[in-house]
A and B are shown apart, each in its own frame.
Chain A
């Protein structure tokens, strides 16, 4: 039954009463918003953060459960690894003091080596029957879990601090970056699954290009967790290198390049570095671009070593990047990124033909996590 609507559109001649009610409501809401506007806004933002925090807690618990399941399946531990896993999830690294920056790179490099070694040993201890590749994947998986745990703790810290102090600005700063935090957390959760199953991730674009150049030729291990192979392209010797896969690994490309340059004094005419790089919003995923300099992320120690070695021998360093977002870099590899590898190989060949002569030797370094990518 459709109610009898008056000319104003309100049923049963309610317009006059409604007139008064709406007027009172409008004045009241105006006064309330004048006095408590910021409080209301803070409360709304806290609700939003609370919702995100619940999602983050769920993702953190899922990641922890996935880590535990994968450790149990691959490593077949004799005792329950939960306690040791929890210790690993809370592990931290104290950066070296920067008041006297001289030698800080080597200090940081040493700390990172110690951390890596300890982390790997801990994983081997709680997963004694895991193969080397599985240990590398588990290491990455636990690191992703630890990252998720840190994100959750930081957001929770600001949420509780904001609630405790009722400070609009504490709440505001976490609410402002919440979409980016959630985007990264979602990608981290996807990365966890990729590491558990050994699927390639977006960051592995560089490693995949190097693996393509290495295909069908003899490989040998060099420096920590790195492999290299020599091929011939149009009379030039190409030394391709990447982290040893298919386990999750980034290796130490800086040390590897330095070692190759020291064992081939004066022979290396060019270094080409291939890596995944962050795109800006509006850029197309999988688009490639060329530049100058050492294309490598991380804490900066490996880039420093490459730059040092290149400057010492006056060797030009070229970079070819595959554009992708931070979320795409840590999530399982998309088709666009995988397809970009062929374009990069073509670009490398063109660059080598343009910038070197027959008989020259060129290093092509594929940078990135090599999970799910063999050689």
Chain B
């Protein structure tokens, strides 16, 4: 599991680095092309063409990476159970366990010993 995560992270960082390098080179090509517009028309056309193509490819790659990060963050969810005491208002949030359901009595309140119950069960993104 840990190995898979490390390989995934390495691949991810390599991909980002490669995209950034391509983006940098393409920007440099584009600037060279624009600067040589008056002296060398041929160089202008091809440098601009290669630069624009590179920028598009690098941007597309970086956008895809961003989408994957967002999707991965969305997929990392956890379900929480909120246990509440109506009498003293004591609230406890814990991980959901099979058998939990909303309005189930779950023993006594830790503070005032009255009956506590599950008031909410919800899913939210887990914090890293």
Within 8 A of A (CB), among B78-109: 79, 96, 98-104
Find out whether the CB atom of B120 lies under 8 angstroms from the CB atom of A8.
no
Q: Which residues of B contact A9 (CB under 8 A)?
A: 28-29, 32-33, 43, 47, 50
Find out whether the CB atom of A338 lies under 8 angstroms from the CB atom of B50.
no
Within 8 A of A (CB), among B99-128: 99-104, 120-124
Q: Which residues of B contact A337 (CB under 8 A)?
A: 122
State how many angstroms separate the Cβ of B93 from the closest Cβ of chain A: 11
Find out whether the CB atom of B122 lies under 8 angstroms from the CB atom of A374.
no
> Which range holds the interface residue count of chain A?
20 to 34
How far, in whole Å, are A22 and B48 apart by their CA atoms in the complex? Answer: 13
Most buried by A among B77, B79, B100, B121: B121
Most buried by B among A215, A335, A337: A335
Contact with A along B40-58 (1 / 0, CB 8 A): 1011001101100000000
State how many angstroms separate the Cβ of B23 from the closest Cβ of chain A: 15
A130 at the B interface (CB under 8 A): no
Within 8 A of A (CB), among B2-61: 28-29, 32-33, 36, 40, 42-43, 46-47, 49-50
How far, in whole Å, are A337 and B124 apart by their CA atoms in the complex? Answer: 11
How far, in whole Å, are A236 and B122 apart by their CA atoms in the complex? Answer: 32
Cβ-neighbour of B101 out of A7, A19, A246 (below 8 A): A246
Find out whether the CB atom of B47 lies under 8 angstroms from the CB atom of A8.
yes
A319 at the B interface (CB under 8 A): no
Question: In chain A, what residue has the closest Cβ to B81?
Answer: A199
**Given known contacts A372-B101, A374-B101, A374-B103, is B123 in contact with A334 (CB within 8 Å)?**
yes
How far, in whole Å, are A373 and B122 apart by their CA atoms in the complex? Answer: 11
State how many angstroms separate the Cβ of B71 from the closest Cβ of chain A: 10
Find out whether the CB atom of B101 lies under 8 angstroms from the CB atom of A245.
yes
State how many angstroms separate the Cβ of B106 from the closest Cβ of chain A: 11
Find out whether the CB atom of A372 lies under 8 angstroms from the CB atom of B102.
yes
Q: Which residues of B contact A338 (CB under 8 A)?
A: 120-122
Question: In chain A, what residue has the closest Cβ to B39?
Answer: A7
Question: In chain B, what residue has the closest Cβ to A246?
Answer: B101
Residues of A within 8 A of B (CB): 7-10, 15, 18-19, 22, 197-200, 208, 211, 215, 245-246, 331-335, 337-339, 372-375
15 contacts between A and B (CB under 8 A): A8-B43, A9-B28, A9-B33, A15-B43, A22-B46, A197-B98, A198-B99, A199-B79, A199-B96, A200-B122, A332-B122, A335-B124, A338-B121, A374-B101, A374-B103
Closest 6 CB pairs of A and B: A246-B101, A8-B43, A332-B123, A374-B103, A338-B122, A335-B122
